[in-house]
Chain A
Amino acid sequence: METVKPTIIRETRLDELPPRTCAVVRRIETDGEEVQRLKSLGLCVGRQIEVVKSGDPLIVKIFGSRIGLSASLAAHVWLETCAPRCNLS
């Protein structure tokens, strides 16, 4: 399943992901009611997401739906930017 080579894996925190960059969720650090809600809204490990608007709170696009979340919560979500639109320079 994993097609990305380990050498180019770069993990970014969701609150630091620039807008219009697509990324795949790799891990979520905390748990709790909000994280569960995030997961049931589609923001869970393995999902491809895109930040529509950065800042605090920020807007994330998952599957066609848009979710607003606090940057403090986004800081616990680690992602891997994905090709081809990713910016690895």
Chain B
Amino acid sequence: MNDCHSNNSSLPVAEIFPRKNRLGKISIAPLPKRAFSLALVGNPNAGKTTLFNALTGLRAKTANFPGTTVEQRIGKATVGGQEIILVDLPGLYGLESSAPEEKLASDAMRGRLAGQPALDAVLVVVDATNLERNLFLAGEVLELKRPVIIALNMMDMAERENIRIDVEKLRAELGCVVVPVAARIGKGIDELRLEIERLAGCAANEPAAHFKTHCVTTCVTCPYQKRYEWTESVSAKVMNPAAARRPQRTEKLDKFLTHPVVGVAVFLAVMLAFFFLIFWAAKIPMNLIDHLFATIGTWVASQVAQPDLQSLLVNSVIGGVGGILVFLPQICILFFALSLLEDTGYLARAAFVMDKIMRKLGLPGKAFVPLLSAHACAIPAVMSARVVENPRDRLATILVAPLMACSARIPIYAMITALLFPQSPFKAALVFTGAYATGIFFALGMAWIFQRTILPGGSRPLVIELPPYRLPGLRTAFLHTFDRAKIFVEQAGTIILLISLLLWTLSHYPKSSPPAAAVVMTAQAAQFEKGGDKKQAAELRATAGHLTAQSALQNSFAGKIGRVIEPAIKPLGFDWQIGIGIISSFAAREVIVSTLAVVYGVGEDAAEQNRTSLYDTLRHATRNNDSPVFTTATCMSLLVYYILAAQCLATSVVVRRETNSLKWPLFQIFYMTGLAYIAAFIVYHIFLNFA
């Protein structure tokens, strides 16, 4: 018994549970104790994740398989006082699959993955309501002669559907431990823990002699056929015949939900509600976060007198952290809703009904979800592109999603429409609609082009399991949401903060002395104050402040870069001041509004509180030759530029994570900016010459 742990497939905890240090590199902490490791495998929809969560709870983290974008969840659980490691592998239907996620899961389980050691034992999660199909994978795993426990999950559902399974008989048939559980309601988990403990106690002594080989070597025609004959015979032996009669609920619901017309209508209604949640409902917590950070900023400003430090803390650090956290409501709401949709089984139907329509655009049905979400924010949209299984289709979706008009573009559209049509709400609405339509048109068009150029291979035909409808698990949804939010803050947060710091430096340095006019005004203000006219003094001080800010920005690195790039943006009808706006809004497009407010001397506050004064100033802004800056042609060009340009580094950071490469986010920035440049150029010249 002593050599239970001498089995060389046992591993130090740290090797399978890599920790990230502050630099984001994986470091291996030397832990002396060897922990027993257990792989969770099972069909998609077999409730594998629910069972994993029931065993580990919050003690889990998501990590990519080395060098891929495929995720596995690694968690710790305590069984019988000892800590073991659980690895939730991607769902798979069979071990011989060639789909990337399933192949990785299969390889990881068998210890065939470079850099990822073999796991001590396997926990196969089997859906009791679909025994025949689920036993296929169980049979394959059993033949590997590894220590195996089978968790017969969803026993509560099976009972409800009048399926009775003789667990003892199934144990005898399979020759391995079978534990009936209902992970959703937490039933059978303690018994499962006991069995895991027993297995962990002596994994090496019990080499899996539990299974008779069936057919793999003898099958000449179709190995699947033989194995399915076996699963059918086993389930016929252990299940009551009543189980053949399936409940009609799913079929009845599917009559509507997969109908080509009704199904699409229901889908659109569901998506509308979904969009409402991430677009409008998320605004409440977003405003709260904004408000909270503004309050913190004001408080810090009152505590720190030194102006440079004050600006650094308030604008860069606090503003930067706020700028990251403000994305969380949308991310959380989206993933919570998506998890519920997936758990009920509806997402599979959505993919099914939308397949034919989306296929015409070269994208699978599920791509609709991220493309719609992108109208609220590209970040959760790119993160949710994981619902698209095919890597190529997923990449196409990620590449085009940020072209959709996200909510950060609204202040820019509002500014430009106000400049173009201050008197005509109808025309303004038309411009808004046109801006949204342009985004959709280019997104779909670019997807079409990418599929024919850089992403060849053609769209794969649809094959999707339509699982029975079930009540969703709130616990799973909460944990999933928490996980996604954590990934965003951990992986995107630091980079966004660094970039926010960099941009702050660019627009605050080198420092310049306040302009003469501002100095005079401040002196005058002091005079007025002495004379008791506080109102006049305050006004003068404010104007002096605006002038100082304007001159500081114009003389900063950002201002200099604006001048350097002026020849490049001149063909679009932009001057160097708009150039400053483009530079400073490179990380977050909406920043252009407040930058223009500073550049044109209205003060940053005008962008928030007094839009009319900002618009008036912009309308009357002139170039060197006294012609107005914001002509119709320049406004249209600026509008088109901001519809298409990739001015959002948070998105790029998330794209980097989701594609696991630097190449794709860089390509995305390049193509979107190029597209924006060309389109703005064309639009500018059309309006210049014909309007």
Binding site for B on A (CB under 8 A): 32-34, 36-42, 44-47, 52-53, 55-57, 59, 62-70, 72-73
- Expressed in whole angstroms, the Cα–Cα distance for A39 and B462 within the complex equals 14
User: Is residue B61 contacting chain A, with contact meaning CB distance below 8 A?
Assistant: no
- Pick from B129-137, B197-205, B279-287, B505-513 the stretch touching chain A: B129-137
B341-375 CB mask vs A (1 if < 8 Å, else 0) is 00000001001100110010000000000000000
The answer to whether residues A68 and B464 also contact, given A40-B94, A44-B228 and a CB cut-off of 8 A, is yes
- Expressed in whole angstroms, the Cα–Cα distance for A72 and B49 within the complex equals 33
- Expressed in whole angstroms, the Cα–Cα distance for A39 and B133 within the complex equals 11
Residue of A nearest to B355 (CB): A57
Give, as a whole number of angstroms, the nearest-CB distance from A41 to chain B: 6
The answer to whether residues A40 and B136 also contact, given A68-B352, A70-B355 and a CB cut-off of 8 A, is yes
Sample of 20 further A-B pairs with CB below 8 A, known A46-B229, A56-B356 = A33-B99, A34-B460, A36-B97, A39-B224, A44-B225, A45-B225, A46-B222, A46-B225, A47-B228, A57-B352, A57-B355, A62-B133, A63-B232, A64-B132, A65-B130, A67-B466, A69-B463, A70-B461, A70-B462, A73-B461
Interface footprint category on B: 35 or more
Residue of B nearest to A28 (CB): B222
Residue of A nearest to B93 (CB): A40
Do A59 and B94 have beta carbons less than 8 Å apart?
no
Give, as a whole number of angstroms, the nearest-CB distance from B391 to chain A: 11
The 6 A-B pairs at the shortest CB distance, nearest first, are namely: A40-B94, A40-B93, A70-B461, A44-B224, A73-B461, A46-B225
In the assembled complex, 11 residue pairs joining A and B whose CB atoms fall closer than 8 Å, in A order, are A33-B97, A40-B96, A42-B132, A44-B225, A59-B258, A65-B130, A65-B133, A66-B466, A70-B461, A70-B462, A73-B463
List residues of chain B with CB within 8 A of the CB of A59. 254, 258, 352, 466
Interface residues of chain A: helix, strand, loop or mixed (majority): mixed
Do B254 and A45 have beta carbons less than 8 Å apart?
no
Do B133 and A41 have beta carbons less than 8 Å apart?
yes
User: Is residue B491 contacting chain A, with contact meaning CB distance below 8 A?
Assistant: no
Residue of A nearest to B244 (CB): A64
The answer to whether residues A65 and B465 also contact, given A40-B93, A45-B222, A53-B254 and a CB cut-off of 8 A, is yes
Q: Which of A56, A66, A72 contacts B465, CB < 8 Å?
A: A66
Do A42 and B136 have beta carbons less than 8 Å apart?
yes
List residues of chain B with CB within 8 A of the CB of A34. 460-461, 463
Do B250 and A66 have beta carbons less than 8 Å apart?
yes
Do A44 and B222 have beta carbons less than 8 Å apart?
yes
Give, as a whole number of angstroms, the nearest-CB distance from B50 to chain A: 19
List residues of chain B with CB within 8 A of the CB of A66. 250, 254, 465-467
The answer to whether residues A42 and B97 also contact, given A57-B355, A66-B465 and a CB cut-off of 8 A, is no
List residues of chain B with CB within 8 A of the CB of A56. 356
Give, as a whole number of angstroms, the nearest-CB distance from A50 to chain B: 11
Binding site for A on B (CB under 8 A): 93-94, 96-99, 129-130, 132-133, 136-137, 221-222, 224-225, 228-229, 232, 246, 250-251, 254, 258, 260, 348, 351-352, 355-356, 359, 460-467
- Expressed in whole angstroms, the Cα–Cα distance for A36 and B460 within the complex equals 13
Residue of A nearest to B345 (CB): A66
List residues of chain B with CB within 8 A of the CB of A55. 260
List residues of chain B with CB within 8 A of the CB of A33. 97-99, 460
List residues of chain B with CB within 8 A of the CB of A45. 221-222, 224-225
- Determine which residue in B98, B129, B463, B464 has the highest number of CB atoms from chain A within 10 A of its CB, and name it: B463
List residues of chain A with CB within 8 A of the CB of B129. 64
- Expressed in whole angstroms, the Cα–Cα distance for A70 and B462 within the complex equals 5
- Expressed in whole angstroms, the Cα–Cα distance for A46 and B356 within the complex equals 29
List residues of chain A with CB within 8 A of the CB of B132. 42, 63-64
Give, as a whole number of angstroms, the nearest-CB distance from A40 to chain B: 4
- Expressed in whole angstroms, the Cα–Cα distance for A53 and B466 within the complex equals 12
- Expressed in whole angstroms, the Cα–Cα distance for A37 and B258 within the complex equals 21
Residue of A nearest to B460 (CB): A34
Give, as a whole number of angstroms, the nearest-CB distance from B340 to chain A: 21
- Expressed in whole angstroms, the Cα–Cα distance for A69 and B460 within the complex equals 11
- Expressed in whole angstroms, the Cα–Cα distance for A52 and B222 within the complex equals 25
Do A41 and B228 have beta carbons less than 8 Å apart?
no
Do A69 and B254 have beta carbons less than 8 Å apart?
no
- Expressed in whole angstroms, the Cα–Cα distance for A38 and B99 within the complex equals 12
- Expressed in whole angstroms, the Cα–Cα distance for A59 and B259 within the complex equals 11
- Expressed in whole angstroms, the Cα–Cα distance for A70 and B464 within the complex equals 9
Residue of B nearest to A74 (CB): B461
List residues of chain A with CB within 8 A of the CB of B228. 42, 44, 46-47
- Expressed in whole angstroms, the Cα–Cα distance for A44 and B98 within the complex equals 16
Do B462 and A68 have beta carbons less than 8 Å apart?
yes
Do A37 and B466 have beta carbons less than 8 Å apart?
no
Do A37 and B462 have beta carbons less than 8 Å apart?
no
List residues of chain B with CB within 8 A of the CB of A47. 225, 228
Give, as a whole number of angstroms, the nearest-CB distance from B133 to chain A: 5
Give, as a whole number of angstroms, the nearest-CB distance from B250 to chain A: 7
The answer to whether residues A52 and B98 also contact, given A40-B224, A59-B258 and a CB cut-off of 8 A, is no
- Determine which residue in A34, A63, A67, A72 has the highest number of CB atoms from chain B within 10 A of its CB, and name it: A63
Residue of B nearest to A55 (CB): B260
List residues of chain A with CB within 8 A of the CB of B254. 52-53, 59, 66
- Expressed in whole angstroms, the Cα–Cα distance for A68 and B98 within the complex equals 19
Residue of A nearest to B100 (CB): A33
Q: Which of B97, B258, B359, B466 contacts A40, CB < 8 Å?
A: B97
- Expressed in whole angstroms, the Cα–Cα distance for A73 and B461 within the complex equals 6
Residue of A nearest to B140 (CB): A40
- Expressed in whole angstroms, the Cα–Cα distance for A67 and B463 within the complex equals 7
Give, as a whole number of angstroms, the nearest-CB distance from A35 to chain B: 9
The answer to whether residues A69 and B462 also contact, given A41-B133, A63-B133 and a CB cut-off of 8 A, is yes
Do A63 and B130 have beta carbons less than 8 Å apart?
yes
Q: Which of B136, B222, B229, B461 contacts A72, CB < 8 Å?
A: B461
Q: Which of B137, B246, B464 contacts A69, CB < 8 Å?
A: B464
List residues of chain A with CB within 8 A of the CB of B221. 45
- Expressed in whole angstroms, the Cα–Cα distance for A66 and B465 within the complex equals 6
List residues of chain A with CB within 8 A of the CB of B222. 39, 44-46
Give, as a whole number of angstroms, the nearest-CB distance from B124 to chain A: 15
The answer to whether residues A37 and B99 also contact, given A42-B133, A65-B465, A66-B250 and a CB cut-off of 8 A, is yes
List residues of chain B with CB within 8 A of the CB of A73. 461-463
